[in-house]
Structure 1
Amino acid sequence: MNRRIVVGLDGSAESVAAAHWAAREALLRGAPLHLVHAELWSAPHVGPSTGSEERRRAAWTLLREASDELSGAHPRLDISTESFDGQPAASLARAAAGASMLVLGSRGLGTLRGFVLGSIGMAVIHGVEQPVVLVRASEDALPHAQGRHLNRDVVVGVDTARPCDALLSFAFDEASRRACTLRALHTWMLPPLAGYGAAYSREANTRIAETERTGLDDMLRPWRDMYPAVDLDARATLGPASEQLLEAGSGAGLMVVGRRIRRSPVGRHIGPIAHAVLHHSTAPVAVIAHE
Structure 2
Amino acid sequence: MKMRKDYLALGLALALAGCGGGGKAVSPVDSTLSQHMDSAHDAVGLDRLAVAEQQYRAAGKRALARDDVTAIGDAGYNLATVQLDQNRPADALSTLAATRSALSLRGQTADDAGLDLVQAGALHRLGRETEAAGAAARAASGQDADITEKAQLIRGLIADDSGDHATLASVAAYFATLTGKVPDSWTADAREIAARNLLATAGSSQTAWQDAMQAATLHQTQVDYRDMARTLGVAARAADRSGNAQAAAQLYARASQSARQAGDTAAADQWARQAGSAVAADPFVDPAPPARGK
TM-score norm. by structure 1 comes to 0.29
Compare the two structures and name the one with the higher strand fraction: 1
Q: Which has the higher contact order (CA 8 A, sep 6+)?
A: 1
Question: Per residue, is there more helix in 1 or in 2?
Answer: 2
Q: TM-score, normalised by structure 2?
A: 0.28
